[in-house]
Amino acid sequence: MNEIGKFLVIVGALMVLVGALLWSGFGKGWIGRLPGDFHYSRGNFNFYFPLATCLLLSLVLSLILWLFKR
């Protein structure tokens, strides 16, 4: 049970850190605007699919969880 508590505290601290960075405007220039993020607009129709951002986020989260699992 001690390991679960430690894990939750670390994950919570990381979430606070990432939230503070995003709130300060750190990722404003590149998050959602990576090469591979699709944006299509025609008239009053807009379609946006952040494929590269999703892949990068998945890779980072998988790495973090893999490191905690070790």
Show the 3-state SS of the chain.
CHHHHHHHHHHHHHHHHHHHHHHCCCCCCCCCCCCCEEEEEECCEEEEEEHHHHHHHHHHHHHHHHHHHC
Report field, pTM of the whole predicted structure over 0.75? no
Return the pLDDT at 21: 78
Split at pLDDT 50, 70, 90, the class of 29 is: confident
Return the pLDDT at 1: 64
